[in-house]
Chains A and B, each alone.
Chain A
Amino acid sequence: MSVVTNTTTIGAIDAPSRRNTELALVAFAVLISVFAYANVGLAINGELPAGMLGYGLGLALLGGVAHIAVRRFAPYADPLLLPLATLLNGLGLAIIWRLDQSERFQQTPNFVAAASKQLLFSAAGVALLVVVLLALKDHRILQRYTYISMLVALFLLVLPMFFPAVNGAKIWIKIPGVGTIQPGEFAKIIIAVFFAGYLMVKRDALALASRRFMGLYLPRGRDLGPILMVWAFSILILVFETDLGSSLLFFGMFIVMLYVATERTSWIVFGLLMSGAGAVGVAMFEPHVQQRVTAWLDPFAGWGKLAASEQMAKSLMAFGSGGTLGTGLGQGNSDLIGFAANSDFILATVGEELGLAGMMGVLLVYGLVVERGVRTALAARDPFGKLLAIGLSGSFAIQVFVVAGGVMGLIPLTGMTMPFLAAGGSSVIANWALIGILIRISDTARRPAPAPAPSPDAEMTQVVRP
């Protein structure tokens, strides 16, 4: 069957795969990160850092391996997702390394350099991305694991309750010899799989079987069940693990996916009402949450009285001191924030040392990742893929907003990490996996449709001859 005889509207001419564009962008991302290292070294020690070559090569290797995996196993994938993730990861590594050089940190008794560990975690993350691309030939396979995903996600979420709180939040589990894991980061992906699978099956029931009341479509009681369950779960996480960020993230992600699945605005109204009720209710008797809110309302008022306020105020001052162009990498004092400067508050270093310009750049890179994710969702041809892609990119967007908004004092601080940028193994590994799944979905979505079966009609069309 030759291509020429095809008369359907979908052309079988190969869509450009854009793999070479991706390669060039990855190289560019690595280059920028290496420049960042050089900048930090020159600013702090007046010489090119000794580890620059190691980090540069390491990062180049990671980007290269990921690129080859994409080229080999997902040739039609979106060409921007990988370079953007590489750029954020590389920039994060440079900034973490910069914070490692801080004398203030080095003088604290239990100081551990985080950059080399972070490179190792990044390698694990990229390895997981390769595994995802290799093992997950088609994202629709994940549909089969809808309910298993639910169980795994619940397990992961409940687990930290049995471990001691770290800095007021129970979001870590400690495994002797391995270190600490933040199961919430992984649960984020697994829960998206569950929601996508569940909603794909139930979307018609949820969308259509409802009564109209005051312009809103009220869902039936039995359809309301899962929503109430998720809501209750978010609240439970908030109460027992005092983890404001995760509960916001899960609930937000669920609302987004529910809305996309049902196309009913009323779900958003319900979602907002319920999250509002939940947040107010919990804030009434949870001192941890109250502290965060107080610190958010007026960070300087709590100076010297409330550690959270002081940290918030220090974060704001770091942003303020950066000004328009920043102090330059390695030349700021964002380490004054102290604890969590290289994880939750890493954006403050960006703000101080790269300035407003750098902040806008980084935020736009995050925006681009989200945009590529949403575009993938739009392009996906199956509802499961659409839901999964919007769930993952929506949760990514919410996480970026919640963390960045938190450290900038736009919303109360929640204690999550900036994806890719912040130091933290669980976070970087999980986010690479998230990018892996998005790449897989986008590959499927952008793959040219298989040549249609020869149409029987074609044979019957007669050519009119003179």
Chain B
Amino acid sequence: MNKPLRRIAIFCGVLVLALLVRTNYIQYVRADELNSNEHNRRVQIERYAHERGNIIVDGEPVTGSVETKDSDFKYKRVWKNGPMWAPVTGYSSQAFDSSQLENLEDGILTGSSDQLFFDRTLSMFTGEKKTGGNIVTTLDGAAQKAAFKGLGDKKGAVAALDPQTGAILALASTPSYDPSVFAGNSFKDSDARQKLLNDKDKPMLNRALRETYPPGSTFKVVTASAALENGLYTDIDAKTDSPLPWRLPQSTNLLQNEGSIPCKDASLREALRYSCNTVFGKMSHDLGNEKMIEQADKFGFNKEVFTPVRADASIYPKDNQPQNAMAGIGQASNRATPLQMAMVASAIANDGKLMQPYMVAQRQAPNLDVIYTHEKEQLSQPLSAENAQKVQQMMETVVKTGTGTNAQIDGVTVGGKTGTAQHGLNNSEKPYAWFISYAKTDSGSPVAVAVVVEDGNANRDDISGGGLAAPIAKSVMQAVLDGKK
């Protein structure tokens, strides 16, 4: 009986060998595939097993991590003053993933980015506790606070830039939300998130980057730039060829001005000071759709902007003549994000150079070593320095003696432009109040702001860029200037 016994022994050996091969196959060959499987909860557990790195403003973290007991995810994200910072940080939830900076810089924040390879390898040997790296933002805490407070319970957004570098100084959006309420993965978190999603005021919408509004009269500075750049007009104080009333091309409709303002043949400076629709509408028509598009593109229109958080593309449309004339005064299909209008203001303030907007100044390894520093980068040159200074003069007149007097700051040169954008079918909805501006000191301009207030509560006639939006812009500029002292 020994011969079959030996064969059975071989058979048993084959069984064990099959198991050995199989265990090698799944634990070695397929390990990576299994470890990255979407259903593998270990990925999540590992992800939340360490303290997440922080997002830093003015040297202080605006985020944090707290230990949780109620699930196998050890750490949960918390925010300091969540509603104020949510448009900058985005959210990071155990159950609902993450957004914006929390999402884009996730590799650094969790500490798993390849950029941290050496750091990780080092701490493997030193036995240091694993934590994530930090993201140092360009934001200015005081400016952000001024923007958020200024908006208050009104619906709207603020974007502020440093014109010389493109650094984003403030990015506020109201109504906002506290990302902390759904950072966990309990039913409570899920309910809180659902409530936010169902809210008709869309608190989770980042209005500063992801909402496009008709820019209204604030767009007239772009039209003015186009006129100067294309040589349609050269002297801002010379009379323009602007009949009043002016009939829209290919149409019987007359373009109206707000109230009876002196717009007939008004100079560029005066037209901007009073915000003459007729002058700028005709200017846009005289330049033509193509040139207008060209100028708008130089300011960054028709393209998404990555800060690195994506901002929606603002649109200056290809259109027929009457529509192009309307687009030239910021109506019709012309759409801009608050960030875009802040870029317009900053390019003018920076003598025509448009800098790439950014909000990540540095990435830090967990041991605070800087592994990335942003280098300022010019995006384009929408207008010559000479022409930029001309537009500056026009905008400064607006604040000194025009519609933007509410933005005046003692001892500081401020340039601005108001806007009251009509929207809705036949102007049926309440208009948006716009204000774009910049402040200027001896060493150039440290801040440019765009403010939009879409206030459904205000009395219709009270809504104007100068009344609602300019004070907010002023307080943001003031905060930045105070910080520079």
Partner-B contacts on A (CB < 8 A): 103-104, 256, 259-261, 263, 300, 303, 313-314, 316-317, 319-324, 333, 336, 351, 355-356, 359-360, 363-364, 366-367, 370-371, 374, 377-378, 383, 386-387, 390, 393-394, 397-398, 400-401, 404-405, 408-410
**B8 within 8 Å of A by Cβ?**
yes
Q: How far is the CA of A377 from the CA of B33 in the complex (A)?
A: 43
Interchain CB contact (< 8 A) of B23 among A336, A360, A374? A360
Q: Contact: B37 with A300, CB < 8 Å?
A: yes
Q: How far is the CA of A360 from the CA of B26 in the complex (A)?
A: 12
Q: Contact: B9 with A374, CB < 8 Å?
A: yes
Q: Of the listed stretches B12-20, B118-126, B283-291, B400-408, name the one at the interface; the rest are far from the partner chain.
A: B12-20
Interchain CB contact (< 8 A) of B20 among A256, A261, A363, A378? A363
Residues on the B chain within 8 Å of A410, using CB: 18-19, 22
Q: How far is the CA of A229 from the CA of B59 in the complex (A)?
A: 82
Q: How far is the CA of A360 from the CA of B15 in the complex (A)?
A: 13
Residues on the B chain within 8 Å of A394, using CB: 8, 12
Residues on the B chain within 8 Å of A256, using CB: 8, 11
Q: Contact: A363 with B16, CB < 8 Å?
A: yes
Known pairs A320-B31, A410-B18 / 12 extra A-B pairs, C-beta < 8 Å: A317-B40, A320-B26, A333-B41, A356-B28, A371-B13, A378-B2, A378-B5, A390-B8, A394-B12, A400-B16, A405-B18, A409-B26
Q: Contact: B5 with A390, CB < 8 Å?
A: yes
Q: Contact: B28 with A351, CB < 8 Å?
A: no
Q: How far is the CA of A408 from the CA of B20 in the complex (A)?
A: 11
A351-B27 in contact given A260-B4, A313-B39 (Cβ < 8 Å) = yes
Q: Contact: B13 with A367, CB < 8 Å?
A: yes
List, sorted by A's number, 16 A–B pairs whose CB atoms are closer than 8 Å.
Answer: A256-B8, A260-B4, A314-B39, A317-B34, A319-B23, A320-B33, A333-B72, A356-B23, A356-B27, A360-B20, A360-B23, A363-B19, A364-B20, A367-B13, A390-B5, A401-B15
Q: Contact: A321 with B16, CB < 8 Å?
A: no
**B192 within 8 Å of A by Cβ?**
no
Q: Contact: A404 with B19, CB < 8 Å?
A: yes
Distance of B12 from chain A, by nearest CB (Å): 4
Distance of A445 from chain B, by nearest CB (Å): 12
**B24 within 8 Å of A by Cβ?**
yes
**B6 within 8 Å of A by Cβ?**
yes
Q: How far is the CA of A410 from the CA of B18 in the complex (A)?
A: 9
Q: How far is the CA of A368 from the CA of B452 in the complex (A)?
A: 78
Residues on the A chain within 8 Å of B2, using CB: 378
Q: Contact: B20 with A393, CB < 8 Å?
A: no
Distance of A315 from chain B, by nearest CB (Å): 10
Interface of B is mostly: helix
Q: Contact: A356 with B24, CB < 8 Å?
A: yes
Q: Contact: A104 with B72, CB < 8 Å?
A: yes
**B298 within 8 Å of A by Cβ?**
no
Q: Contact: A317 with B39, CB < 8 Å?
A: yes
**B423 within 8 Å of A by Cβ?**
no
Q: How far is the CA of A394 from the CA of B6 in the complex (A)?
A: 12
Distance of A371 from chain B, by nearest CB (Å): 7
**B318 within 8 Å of A by Cβ?**
no
**B303 within 8 Å of A by Cβ?**
no
Q: Contact: B1 with A263, CB < 8 Å?
A: yes
Residues on the B chain within 8 Å of A324, using CB: 27-28
Residues on the A chain within 8 Å of B210, using CB: none
Distance of B50 from chain A, by nearest CB (Å): 14
Q: Contact: A374 with B39, CB < 8 Å?
A: no
Residues on the A chain within 8 Å of B115, using CB: none
Residues on the A chain within 8 Å of B45, using CB: 333
Interface of A is mostly: helix
Which one of B32, B33, B39, B45 has the highest number of Cβ atoms from chain A below 10 Å of its Cβ? B39
Residues on the A chain within 8 Å of B19, using CB: 363, 400-401, 404-405, 408, 410
Q: How far is the CA of A404 from the CA of B41 in the complex (A)?
A: 23
Q: Contact: A370 with B12, CB < 8 Å?
A: yes
**B35 within 8 Å of A by Cβ?**
yes
Q: How far is the CA of A206 from the CA of B26 in the complex (A)?
A: 43
**B30 within 8 Å of A by Cβ?**
yes
Interchain CB contact (< 8 A) of B5 among A364, A386, A405? A386
By size class, the interface of chain B is: 35 or more
Q: Contact: B34 with A260, CB < 8 Å?
A: no
Residues on the B chain within 8 Å of A377, using CB: 5
Q: Contact: A259 with B72, CB < 8 Å?
A: no
Q: Contact: A371 with B9, CB < 8 Å?
A: yes
Q: How far is the CA of A383 from the CA of B9 in the complex (A)?
A: 17
Distance of B344 from chain A, by nearest CB (Å): 50
Q: How far is the CA of A371 from the CA of B14 in the complex (A)?
A: 12
Q: Contact: B41 with A303, CB < 8 Å?
A: no
Residues on the B chain within 8 Å of A261, using CB: 1
Q: How far is the CA of A357 from the CA of B396 in the complex (A)?
A: 75
Q: Contact: A320 with B35, CB < 8 Å?
A: yes
**B3 within 8 Å of A by Cβ?**
yes
A374-B5 in contact given A320-B35, A351-B27 (Cβ < 8 Å) = yes
Q: Contact: B12 with A397, CB < 8 Å?
A: yes
Q: How far is the CA of A104 from the CA of B73 in the complex (A)?
A: 12
Residues on the A chain within 8 Å of B20, using CB: 360, 363-364
Q: How far is the CA of A26 from the CA of B412 in the complex (A)?
A: 89
Distance of A351 from chain B, by nearest CB (Å): 6
Residues on the A chain within 8 Å of B7, using CB: 259
Please list the 10 inter-chain residue pairs (A to B) with the smallest Cβ-Cβ separation, ordered nearest first.
Answer: A320-B34, A367-B16, A356-B27, A401-B15, A397-B12, A374-B9, A359-B23, A260-B4, A410-B22, A320-B31
Which one of B3, B6, B16, B23 has the highest number of Cβ atoms from chain A below 10 Å of its Cβ? B23
Q: Contact: B31 with A323, CB < 8 Å?
A: yes
Distance of B338 from chain A, by nearest CB (Å): 42
Distance of A305 from chain B, by nearest CB (Å): 12
Q: Contact: A408 with B8, CB < 8 Å?
A: no
Q: Contact: A397 with B16, CB < 8 Å?
A: yes
Residue of A nearest to B15 (CB): A401
Q: How far is the CA of A410 from the CA of B39 in the complex (A)?
A: 21
Q: How far is the CA of A408 from the CA of B33 in the complex (A)?
A: 15
**B264 within 8 Å of A by Cβ?**
no
Residue of A nearest to B10 (CB): A374
**B42 within 8 Å of A by Cβ?**
yes
Q: How far is the CA of A317 from the CA of B42 in the complex (A)?
A: 9
Q: Contact: B16 with A370, CB < 8 Å?
A: yes
B43-100 interface (Cβ within 8 A of A): 45, 72
Distance of B409 from chain A, by nearest CB (Å): 58
Q: Contact: A322 with B42, CB < 8 Å?
A: no
B261-284 interface (Cβ within 8 A of A): none
Q: How far is the CA of A317 from the CA of B13 in the complex (A)?
A: 27
Q: Contact: B26 with A386, CB < 8 Å?
A: no
Which one of B2, B9, B19, B42 has the highest number of Cβ atoms from chain A below 10 Å of its Cβ? B19
Residues on the B chain within 8 Å of A321, using CB: 31, 34-35, 40, 42
Which one of A259, A260, A317, A390 has the highest number of Cβ atoms from chain B below 10 Å of its Cβ? A317
Q: Contact: B22 with A405, CB < 8 Å?
A: yes
Q: How far is the CA of A400 from the CA of B12 in the complex (A)?
A: 10
B358-404 interface (Cβ within 8 A of A): none
Residue of A nearest to B24 (CB): A356
Q: How far is the CA of A386 from the CA of B6 in the complex (A)?
A: 12
Proximity bits, B430-459, A CB within 8 Å = 1, else 0 = 000000000000000000000000000000
Distance of B46 from chain A, by nearest CB (Å): 9
Q: How far is the CA of A35 from the CA of B23 in the complex (A)?
A: 24
A260-B1 in contact given A320-B35, A397-B15 (Cβ < 8 Å) = yes
Distance of B396 from chain A, by nearest CB (Å): 63
